């Protein structure tokens, strides 16, 4: 067991969970703001855990945070935990594999793949569960283009932190 990695990952998990909880603590924050700010901070924790400690630590965060999001009422149905975990796992693996590649490749591929897995996964899940109509719009919207923004900003935030950490 790597105590340094476990401790660092626990700290990043705490940051992610506090960020997710801001929606509950400050319900007056407009949803558009909270999606982008909170989503970007949480994405940054995945990237930091992955780059600093390794893929398995990034994956740990990728699966814990959607469970907590569901328990907080941020995911309306439990099966979305699986979709969110899968999409974020793809993101974590890609930011690790592409970490030494060109920035546009790292950001473009990892953010786009995360969004595609989340959107297509949510769409297929909703169809499988026969959930249709207006209830699907906010779910599909949350799992679409905002994921590109939060994934991209998360990488940018992680790069700033890593640069400061190594200097």
Q: How far apart are CA 45 and CA 40, in angstroms?
A: 9
Structural tokens at position 52? 């600093």
Band (28; pLDDT cuts 50, 70, 90): confident
Please tell me the predicted confidence (pLDDT) of residue 51: 97
Angle between helices 31-53 and 55-71 (to 10 degrees): 150
DSSP at 97: H
Please tell me the predicted confidence (pLDDT) of residue 30: 85
Structural tokens at position 72? 């907080």
pLDDT tens for residues 93-137?
999 999 999 999 999 999 999 999 999 999 999 999 999 999 899
Tell whether pTM > 0.85. Answer: yes
| pLDDT reading at 138 higher than 80 | yes
Mean pLDDT of all residues in the chain? 95
| pLDDT reading at 167 higher than 70 | no
Q: How far apart are CA 57 and CA 51, in angstroms?
A: 9
- Tell me how far apart the 2 most distant CA atoms of the chain are, in Å: 52
Structural tokens at position 67? 């469970």
Taking a C-beta distance cutoff of 8 angstroms, is the pair 50, 57 a contact? yes
| Cβ neighbour number for residue 102 with a 10 Å cutoff | 9
Higher pLDDT, 37 or 32: 37
Band (83; pLDDT cuts 50, 70, 90): very high
Please tell me the predicted confidence (pLDDT) of residue 31: 79
| pLDDT reading at 29 higher than 90 | no
Q: How far apart are CA 72 and CA 96, in angstroms?
A: 29
Average of per-residue pLDDT across 77-89 = 98
């Amino acid at each position: 067991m790597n105590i340094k990695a476990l401790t660092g990952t626990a700290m990043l998990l705490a940051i992610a969970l506090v960020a997710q909880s801001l929606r509950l603590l400050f319900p007056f924050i407009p949803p558009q703001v909270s999606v982008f700010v909170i989503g970007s901070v949480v994405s940054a924790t995945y990237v930091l855990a992955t780059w600093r400690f390794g893929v398995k630590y990034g994956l740990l965060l990728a699966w814990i945070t959607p469970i907590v999001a569901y328990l907080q009422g941020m995911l309306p149905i439990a099966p979305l935990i699986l979709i969110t975990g899968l999409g974020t796992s793809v993101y974590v693996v890609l930011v690790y594999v592409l970490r030494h590649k060109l920035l546009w490749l790292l950001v473009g591929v990892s953010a786009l793949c995360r969004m595609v897995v989340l959107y297509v996964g949510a769409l297929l899940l909703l169809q499988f569960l026969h959930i249709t109509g207006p209830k699907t719009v906010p779910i599909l919207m949350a799992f679409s283009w905002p994921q590109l923004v939060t994934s991209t900003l998360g990488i940018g935030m992680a790069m700033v932190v890593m640069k400061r950490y190594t200097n």
